[in-house]
Copies of this chain bind each other. A is one copy, B any other.
């Protein structure tokens, strides 16, 4: 039979993307949809066995809500979500032992803490990578590359991420500044104009201290970018471009700052590499130059692979 042997592959990449989407989208959903999403994320294998009605009942919602959730997660309907769930469960079966997915307890031995934290950060990275909108990323890279001047706003843990970005950009010859003082940030923001880039980093998407300077830059006509876990947050109102980071459940011993930082740093790295690629002629010598310069600050030990 001559069937259309061409790639009938659909975009429905069943893999980790599913869990990622659940975690990324979950916070922006209404309550009952969240319940469904949680149930699905908690036990995909079990949910794959359930009909709409059964899942609705189990989550204490209605069929309509289940279908709506499936839609938000990117499937045409529940039927397809179910298939993806089955696929996901199969893929996951050889995966992590349940113990590392549990929350960190006060009396966990340190070895477990290490395993759980590592697992969690790995998951965060996978989620972020899966959830990143590459076209937005592309646009941000373009804006950064062309910018006359780049201002970065971040507070608390996000301030460090901002500094990381700035360090990297400086290293390849861009003009970038990190601001964590809200007043100075605004003061500087009003100096920006079209062609400049203002970039705000906030996990919650609602941090006033970084939204204010971003707004100021926005009003001045600069290209504004937000790196946030909440693309529906207030920060997005003044952001021309939004890069979404994964959001994971937090707990007392695992503050949100921890996973958001991991997530944000991945985005920052992507930006850096993207810009470095596009300005390679200029960046490559700059990179080696800074490498050379640093060698002097190291003792003359020869570095070798261990």
Taking beta carbons and an 8 Å cutoff, which residues of A are in contact with B?
3, 8-11, 14-15, 27-30, 45-46, 48-49, 58, 72, 82-84, 86-91, 93-94, 104, 106-108, 110-111, 113-115, 117-118, 121-122, 125-126, 128-129, 132, 134, 137-138, 141, 155-157, 160, 163-164, 167, 204-209, 211, 230-234, 247, 252-255, 258, 261-262, 265-266, 269-270, 273-274, 276-277, 280, 284, 287-288, 291, 294, 297-299, 301, 303-306
Contacts and interface: CB of A to CB of B under 8 A. Distances in A.
Contacts of A126: 118, 122
Contacts of A205: 301
B118 A49 contact: no
A306 B28 contact: yes
Contact of A297 (B209, B255, B306): B209
A58 to B, nearest CB: 8
Contacts of A106: 277, 280
Contact of A82 (B83, B104, B288): B83
Contacts of A287: 252, 255
A204 B206 CA distance: 38
B305 A29 contact: yes
25 contacts: A8-B49, A9-B45, A14-B86, A15-B90, A28-B304, A29-B305, A48-B87, A83-B86, A86-B90, A87-B87, A108-B277, A118-B126, A118-B128, A122-B125, A156-B167, A157-B167, A204-B298, A206-B303, A230-B306, A231-B306, A234-B301, A253-B273, A253-B277, A255-B291, A265-B265
List the number of copies, as a whole number: 2
Per CB-CB distance, the 3 closest pairs between chain A and chain B, nearest first, are A87-B90, A118-B129, A206-B298
A205 B298 CA distance: 9
B306 A232 contact: yes
